[in-house]
Amino acid sequence: MSFKAIRVEKTDAGQSVKFVTLEDADLPEGDVTLRVTHSTVNYKDGLALSGKSAIPRKFPLILGIDLAGVVETSAHAGFKPGDEVLLNGYGLGETHSGGYAERARVRGDWLVKIPHGWSRAQTMAVGTAGYTSALSVLALEAAGVNPSQGPVVVTGAAGGVGSVAIALLAKAGWSVIASTGRAEEADYLKSLGAAEIVERASLSAPGKPLGKERWIAGIDSVGSQTLANVLAQTRYGGAVAACGLAGGMDLPASVAPFILRGVRLLGIDSVNCPMPQRLAAWDRLARDLDLGLLASLTQTIPFARVFETGAEILAGRVRGRVVVEIG
């Protein structure tokens, strides 16, 4: 069966990323074959679509780090034809062909069934970004920090991770400080539950090794100097979940917050996260994320607009989440 896909190939001139028509024989190994109906555009997807990143690590490869669809054939005991499923991570779009295709073949051990009462499109409105937010919230709670101890800061607040994080944290009773470089998004962030907006510049410029204690917790999707400043201004005994690198992979920080204030830095991995933690994150999203609010922070695009939207997300011009209609 032929199908349309976005595939990256390695050439003498570098990476070539384009729409192609493929056959089922072009799909990778796996015990479940899906009809893909929806995907997403995340920051990592934007990097891969640019053809100038190290995101894809084998070639040729179908891009797209998220997918939702319907099982067509299955040799896996946990799934049968007709099941509605989603997949985040596990190398999708990096080492295993991903969600930017009308068909996919994957390992059943990677799949999660669509939460009860949710549509496939809604799970992609969450996608890797929102699922990472849920992992971050759960990590902060496991570290023992809570709203009675002070506020929580969320960086990259208007992006996909930040938007869902604010909604989940506000639902859990946190006073949320949202950091953004887009002042025009203040009303949007407050509609999600943010109590205070701070300028990105106040955290992105070089700061002191140890600053004034402002928050007990944080969720950071930026990295680099921003994460260093978030750590430096975290209260005694606080914790910060690091889940992104939009601002860079470096961390120009000191050990002062860790050894003088007992601050904890929590690493969040969404790609190889064990299935029990994945299920816990999706259970939390299904329980606490308001679907009406989710709709307000989501835009839906056709498959043909993926390249355009990937460039926009890299330029910081995308608010919230993007769902791609594949089917």
Beta bridge partners of 220: 242
The whole-angstrom separation of Cα 131 and Cα 136 is 9
Cβ-based neighbour number of residue 280 at 10 Å: 15
The whole-angstrom separation of Cα 217 and Cα 174 is 10
Q: What tokens were used for 14?
A: 């570098």
Backbone phi, then psi, for 219, in 5-degree steps?
A: -125, 115
Give the CATH number of the domain where residue 27 resides.
3.90.180.10
Q: What element of type H or E holds 62?
A: strand 61-62
Residue spans of beta strands (DSSP E) within 143-208: 152-154, 176-180, 194-199
Domain that holds residue 50: 2-114+297-325
In a domain, 105, yes or no: yes
Helix/strand/coil (H/E/C) assignment for every residue in 201-255: HHHHCCCCCCCCCCEEEEEECCEHHHHHHHHHCEEEEEEEEECCCCCECCCCCCC
In a domain, 275, yes or no: no
Q: CA geometry: angle at 238 spanning 229 and 228, to 5°?
A: 15
In this structure, the answer to whether residues 317 and 239 fall within a common structural domain is: no
In a domain, 151, yes or no: yes
In this structure, the answer to whether residues 56 and 33 fall within a common structural domain is: yes
In this structure, the answer to whether residues 310 and 256 fall within a common structural domain is: no
In this structure, the answer to whether residues 211 and 312 fall within a common structural domain is: no
The whole-angstrom separation of Cα 230 and Cα 219 is 9
Q: H-type helices in 30-75, by residue range?
A: 43-49
In three-state secondary structure terms, 82 is: coil
The whole-angstrom separation of Cα 166 and Cα 177 is 9
In this structure, the answer to whether residues 110 and 137 fall within a common structural domain is: no
* Residue pair 31/131 in contact by the 8 Å Cβ criterion: no
In a domain, 178, yes or no: yes
In this structure, the answer to whether residues 218 and 306 fall within a common structural domain is: no
In this structure, the answer to whether residues 227 and 180 fall within a common structural domain is: yes
In a domain, 137, yes or no: yes
In this structure, the answer to whether residues 142 and 209 fall within a common structural domain is: yes
In a domain, 282, yes or no: no
In this structure, the answer to whether residues 160 and 259 fall within a common structural domain is: yes
In this structure, the answer to whether residues 100 and 144 fall within a common structural domain is: no
Could you tell me the pTM of the whole model? Answer: 0.94
* Residue pair 152/174 in contact by the 8 Å Cβ criterion: yes
Beta bridge partners of 16: 9
Q: What is the pLDDT along the chain (327 residues), one digit of tens a residue?
A: 899 999 999 999 899 999 999 999 999 999 999 999 999 999 999 999 999 999 999 999 999 999 999 999 999 999 999 999 999 999 999 999 999 999 999 999 999 999 999 999 999 999 999 999 999 999 999 999 999 999 999 999 999 999 999 999 999 999 999 999 999 999 999 999 999 999 999 999 999 999 999 999 999 999 999 999 999 999 999 999 999 999 999 999 999 999 999 999 999 999 999 999 999 999 999 999 999 999 999 999 999 999 999 999 999 999 999 999 998
For the chain, the first-to-last Cα distance in angstroms comes to: 14
Looking at residue 69, its pLDDT comes to 98
In this structure, the answer to whether residues 103 and 215 fall within a common structural domain is: no
In a domain, 48, yes or no: yes
In this structure, the answer to whether residues 154 and 226 fall within a common structural domain is: yes
Domain count, the chain: 2
Give the CATH number of the domain where residue 174 resides.
3.40.50.720
In a domain, 86, yes or no: yes
pLDDT tens across 72-127, in order? 999 999 999 999 999 999 999 999 999 999 999 999 999 999 999 999 999 999 99
